[in-house]
């Protein structure tokens, strides 16, 4: 009997450890797999956001959690997650999505099966820290692939992936701004990282892109403070940047501010990050699990 009880305790403690670990820390891969956009300061848009959203301060929005493409991983978080919601927010939330507000809500949401909630508790740092660390990590990678920008109308990324299928490019924002038509020669690459240096970028190009590009490319604008897109394909990491768009962006977005007049489409990142450390259980959870396992040991030796 003592052994059975101790085993049950260990099982419960293990479950607590798992749930606390999950609630305590999302990895960058988790976030890219679950969310359409993470905005660490002000978010405003007059166009749809298809997938889950995290924002520090929602200033103005239109329709949220609309027309999801069914690729996002399950999440403990709501369709919309905000610290504060301003009086200018008057938004529709579709597909049964909830809205999780941690602070003051001065806006209005029209729900289609969802509701206003306040759990799980979170801070913007829970999302910003892993993604900022990822942007820094990717910026330090050495390029193994080349860009042919000699013809702006055929601006081509020629991948030379490593054994893990990772192709890494490095170029300046000024160089990328010369592109008029962007092409990718994948050559078997399954994950593409494009590191862009420079403080600002204005998109002037078109993409010859398919869903694969939307889901397998990360554009790392780790230095940029201002980004203006007419439309874009692939996930964007821009921890310091104020971002605007005038037509649909196809992929995940991480930025400081967002002002949108184009939709954000939920093409969840499906590549493999160069490294994604496993979650480390909270110290209290480890102690609980240790106590449970010790109970099992004592019970078995008393038996």
3-state DSSP helix/strand/coil % of the chain, to nearest 5: 25, 35, 40
pLDDT at position 19, please? 39
Q: What is the pLDDT of residue 276?
A: 53
- What distance in Å separates the CA atoms of residue 104 and residue 38, rounded to the nearest whole number? 19
Provide the token pair at 178. Answer: 């010369």
What radius of gyration, in Å, describes the C-alpha atoms of the chain? 22
Instruction: Measure the CA–CA gap between 153 and 155, rounded to whole angstroms.
Output: 6
Query: Which helix (H) or strand (E) segment is 110 a member of?
Result: strand 108-111
Torsion from C-alpha of 51, 47, 221, 26, nearest 10 degrees: -20
Q: Say what the pTM is.
A: 0.85
Structure tokens at 301: 């030796």
Do residues 166 and 189 make contact, with C-beta atoms less than 8 angstroms apart? yes
Q: Digits of tens for pLDDT over the chain (303 positions)?
A: 443 444 343 333 433 333 333 444 899 999 999 999 999 999 999 999 999 999 999 999 889 999 877 789 999 999 999 999 999 999 999 999 999 999 999 999 999 999 999 999 999 999 999 999 999 999 999 999 999 999 999 999 999 999 999 999 999 999 999 999 999 999 999 999 999 999 999 998 899 888 999 999 999 999 999 999 998 999 999 999 999 999 999 999 999 999 999 999 999 999 999 875 433 334 444 344 444 444 434 544 455
**Residue 139 per-residue DSSP state:** H
Identify the H or E element spanning 22: helix 2-24
Q: What letter would DSSP give residue 152?
A: G
**pLDDT of the residue at 16:** 36
The sign one gets for the Cα dihedral 259, 111, 34, 75 is: positive
């Amino acid at each position: 009997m003592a052994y059975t009880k101790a085993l049950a305790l260990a099982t419960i403690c293990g479950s607590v450890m798992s749930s606390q670990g999950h609630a305590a820390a999302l990895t960058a891969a988790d976030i890219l797999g679950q969310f359409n956009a993470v905005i660490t300061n002000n978010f405003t848009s007059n166009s749809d956001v298809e997938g889950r959203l995290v924002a520090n301060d929602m200033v103005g929005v239109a329709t949220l959690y609309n027309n999801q493409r069914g690729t996002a991983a399950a999440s403990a978080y709501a369709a919309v997650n905000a610290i504060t919601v301003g009086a200018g927010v008057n938004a529709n939330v579709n597909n049964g999505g909830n809205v999780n507000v941690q602070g003051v809500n001065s806006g209005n949401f029209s729900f289609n099966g969802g509701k206003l909630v306040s759990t799980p508790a979170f801070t913007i740092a829970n999302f910003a820290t892993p993604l900022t660390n990822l942007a820094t990590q990717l910026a330090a990678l050495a390029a193994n692939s080349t860009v042919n920008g000699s013809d702006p109308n055929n601006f081509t990324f020629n991948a030379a992936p490593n054994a893990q299928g990772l192709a890494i490019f490095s170029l300046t924002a000024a160089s990328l701004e010369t592109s008029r038509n962007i092409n990718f020669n994948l050559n078997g690459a399954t994950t593409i990282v494009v590191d862009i240096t420079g403080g600002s970028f204005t998109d002037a190009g078109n993409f010859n892109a398919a869903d694969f590009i939307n889901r397998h490319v990360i554009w790392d604008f780790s230095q940029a403070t201002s980004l203006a897109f007419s439309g874009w394909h692939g996930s964007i990491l821009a921890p310091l940047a104020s971002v605007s768009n005038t037509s649909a962006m196809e992929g995940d977005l991480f930025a400081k501010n967002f002002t949108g007049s184009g939709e954000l489409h939920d093409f969840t990142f499906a590549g493999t990050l160069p490294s994604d450390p496993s979650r480390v259980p909270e110290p209290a959870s480890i102690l609980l699990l240790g106590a449970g396992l010790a109970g099992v040991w004592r019970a078995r030796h008393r038996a």
